[in-house]
């Protein structure tokens, strides 16, 4: 870490092309001038026409942007992926076991492996979930694990995202666009398909339906509505799965059961893939001012008459303060060593530690414990003096609200920018489905920081996406 050149996904240090990228490199060489420029503008037109847009919070109402799509794919070799997916599977199994334990006997707390206070006084802990038996014992059915790579064999998990991870529609549409733009490239590389994600999602949701639901359960995708930044994804997934896309007012609870209001009257709902936060799910149980949720939903859930995906209260397992303990969690429940690294993470509550953090802040990343989307974050090496001073004040005022990590040298991947093809930093979010079995879609969403040198890949802050290929043997 520090000044050394980051690992490049495509090129070795001596400039030669890494094995998985051979066919791509050759293809790029063969492209006539301007071909990539044309592809880039075609891609933009494809996305805008399909309405694959996202709303940026804080900008004018109705402003919709297209997430920039980069035409150069990110490629992962088959054996690289096998290692990664093993590590991911281990992690998501352990985290679900952890959630079951936390909302039942709390053995891990009794064993003193995690401080009780960290869990029980955490705002992400959901006491209403205590003792509840979710279908198949699964709490987090849909997980998007954020992973960065810093070397040929070195991966770190940044975040686990067990609440309502988004972005999977971009994974699917990026592939669709790439196949339209460069069909010949797919003939030269054996790329593992991602297209069955919606089918697998449907199977996962079916598998966790309540006992009485029958062989073809009624599935609803619950969205906050068209002004939500991820609305496109909600409608896309509902469409692809043949599920009903509902807003809160479309659903109601009667006699402990959930129904949707259809043109011919009430129809029972068995599984709700909800894309609204815990707090807004049910004004009777959680935030009383919520207009997005369904009154009585939580009671229906407790009664086992409907399955909520993901379960409320999963946030306790991806909390940034709990994150530090994930290797511990894996060992405790599975008796295995973690296959994927955690980023070393420090808190600032101790005054000595704080002094060290302040001395080294220009080399560190500071994150708000409950922040997301790249907001409320300081990246030391690219920050200004004023920003660093501001964060010192913030940390001083509320030390428990921040965690600190070393700045990782995120790998780079060749990216088509104004100046031509240049390396840009990337991360990776594979999507995992957990129901009757664990299903991991090969690849995932690669986010790329389009600004030179930037480490922030979030689409709200100038990040783009790339199609992500896992090669088959």
Partner 1 sequence: MRMLGRTAQNLFWLSRYVERAENMARLLEVGYRMSLTSRREGGASEHLMSMMQAAEVDEEFNKKHKTADVDTVAHFMMFDPDNASSVYSCLMAARTNARSVRTAITTDMWESLNGAWLEFSQIKPRDVRGAKLLGLLQWVKQLSHQFRGALLGTILRDDGFAFSQAGNFVERADNTARILDMKYYVLLPRAKMIGGDLDIQQWTLILRAASAHRSYRHVYHDRYKAHNIADFLILRPEMPRSLIFCARAIELTLDSLSELYGKRQDCHEAASQMRAMVEGTTMETIFAHGLHEFLTEFIARNNRVTECLSESYNFY
- Residues in contact with partner 1 by the rule CB under 8 A: 48-51, 218, 225-226, 231-232, 235-236, 238-239, 244-247, 249-250, 260-265, 267
**3-class state of residue 117 by DSSP:** helix
Q: Which is nearer to partner 1, 40 or 244 (CB)?
A: 244
147 close to 427: Cβ distance less than 8 angstroms: yes
Angle, helices 385-397 vs 351-360, to 10°: value is: 170
- Run of H or E residues at 433: strand 431-434
Q: Judged by CB, which is closer to partner 1: 216, or 349?
A: 216
| Nearest CA-CA partner of 457 in 403, 405, 410, 391 | 410
Strands 271-274 and 307-309: parallel
Residue 172 to residue 464: CA distance in whole angstroms: 15
Tell the smallest beta-carbon distance from residue 178 to partner 1 (Å): 19
- Beta carbon of residue 197, minimum distance to partner 1 (angstroms, whole number): 17
Q: Report the residue number, 232 or 391, with the smaller CB distance to partner 1.
A: 232
Q: How far is the CB of 34 from partner 1 (least distance, A)?
A: 25
Q: Which is nearer to partner 1, 236 or 301 (CB)?
A: 236
Minimum separation from the CB atom of position 325 to partner 1 (A): 40
Of 242 and 373, which CB lies nearer to partner 1 in the complex structure? Answer: 242
Phi, psi of 241 (to 5 degrees): -95, -10
Our CB check for partner 1 shows the closer of 260 and 456 to be: 260
Cα angle, residue 442 at apex, residues 437 and 448 outer, rounded to 5°: 130
Residues 77 and 70: their CA atoms lie apart, in Å, by 20
| Nearest approach, Cβ of residue 233 and partner 1 (Å) | 11
Q: Whose Cβ is closer to partner 1: residue 49's or residue 337's?
A: 49
Q: How far is the CB of 235 from partner 1 (least distance, A)?
A: 4
Strand stretches in 218-351, DSSP E: 219-222, 244-246, 251-254, 257-262, 265-268, 271-274, 307-309, 341-342, 346-347
109-116: long-range pairs with CB below 8 Å, 24+: 111/332, 113/325, 113/328, 113/332, 114/322, 114/325, 114/328, 114/329
Question: What's the rounded Cα separation, in Å, for the pair 190 and 185?
Answer: 10
Residue 380 CA to residue 118 CA, distance in Å, equals 27
Nearer to partner 1 (CB atom), residue 101 or residue 247: 247
CB nearer to partner 1: pick between 49 and 385: 49
Tokens 């707090």 correspond to 279
* Pure H helices in 312-350: 320-323, 326-334
Min separation Cβ 228 and partner 1, Å: 11
Question: Counting beta carbons within 10 angstroms of the beta carbon of residue 381, is it exposed (0 to 12), middle (13 to 18) or buried (19 or more)?
Answer: middle
């Amino acid at each position: 870490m520090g000044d050394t050149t980051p690992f490049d996904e495509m090129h070795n240090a001596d400039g030669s092309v890494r094995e998985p990228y051979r066919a791509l490199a050759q293809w790029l060489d063969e492209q006539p001038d301007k071909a990539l420029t044309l592809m880039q503008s075609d891609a933009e037109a494809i996305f805008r026409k399909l309405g694959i847009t996202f709303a940026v919070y804080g900008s004018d109402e109705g402003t919709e942007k297209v997430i920039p799509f980069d035409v150069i794919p990110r490629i992962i070799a088959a054996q690289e992926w096998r290692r990664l997916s093993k590590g991911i599977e281990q992690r998501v199994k352990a985290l679900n076991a952890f959630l079951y334990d936390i909302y039942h006997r709390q053995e891990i707390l009794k064993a003193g492996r995690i401080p009780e206070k960290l869990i029980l006084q955490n705002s992400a802990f959901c006491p209403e979930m205590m003792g509840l038996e979710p279908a198949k014992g699964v709490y987090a059915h849909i997980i998007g694990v954020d992973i960065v790579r810093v070397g040929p064999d070195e991966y770190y998990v940044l975040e686990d995202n067990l609440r309502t991870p988004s972005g999977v529609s971009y994974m699917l549409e990026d592939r669709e666009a790439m196949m339209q733009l460069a069909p010949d490239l797919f003939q030269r590389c054996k790329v593992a398909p991602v297209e069955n994600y919606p089918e697998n999602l449907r199977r996962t949701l079916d598998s966790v339906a309540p006992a009485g639901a029958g062989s073809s359960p009624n599935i609803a995708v619950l969205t906050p509505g068209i002004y939500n930044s991820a609305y496109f994804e909600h409608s896309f997934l509902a469409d692809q799965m043949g599920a009903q896309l509902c807003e809160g007012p479309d659903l109601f609870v009667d006699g402990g059961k959930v129904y949707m209001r259809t043109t011919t009257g009430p129809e029972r709902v068995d599984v709700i893939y909800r894309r609204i936060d815990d707090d807004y799910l049910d004004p009777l149980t959680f935030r009383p001012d919520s207009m997005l949720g369904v009154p009585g939903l939580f009671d229906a859930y407790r009664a086992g008459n409907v399955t909520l995906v993901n379960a409320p209260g999963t946030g306790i397992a991806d909390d940034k303060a709990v994150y530090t303990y994930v290797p511990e969690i894996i060992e405790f429940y599975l008796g295995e060593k973690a296959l994927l690294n955690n980023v070393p993470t420090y808190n600032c509550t101790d005054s000595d530690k704080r002094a060290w953090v302040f001395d080294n802040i220009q080399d560190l990343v500071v994150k708000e414990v409950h922040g997301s989307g790249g907001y409320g974050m300081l990246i030391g090496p690219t920050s200004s003096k004023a920003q660093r001073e501001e964060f010192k004040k913030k940390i001083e005022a509320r030390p428990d609200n921040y965690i600190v990590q070393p700045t990782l040298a995120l790998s780079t991947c060749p990216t088509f920018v104004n100046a031509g093809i240049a390396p840009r930093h990337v991360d990776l979010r594979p999507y995992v489905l957990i129901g009757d079995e664990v299903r991991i879609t090969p690849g995932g969403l690669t986010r790329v920081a389009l600004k030179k040198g930037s480490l922030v890949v979030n689409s709200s802050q100038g990040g783009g996406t790339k199609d992500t290929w896992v090669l088959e043997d």
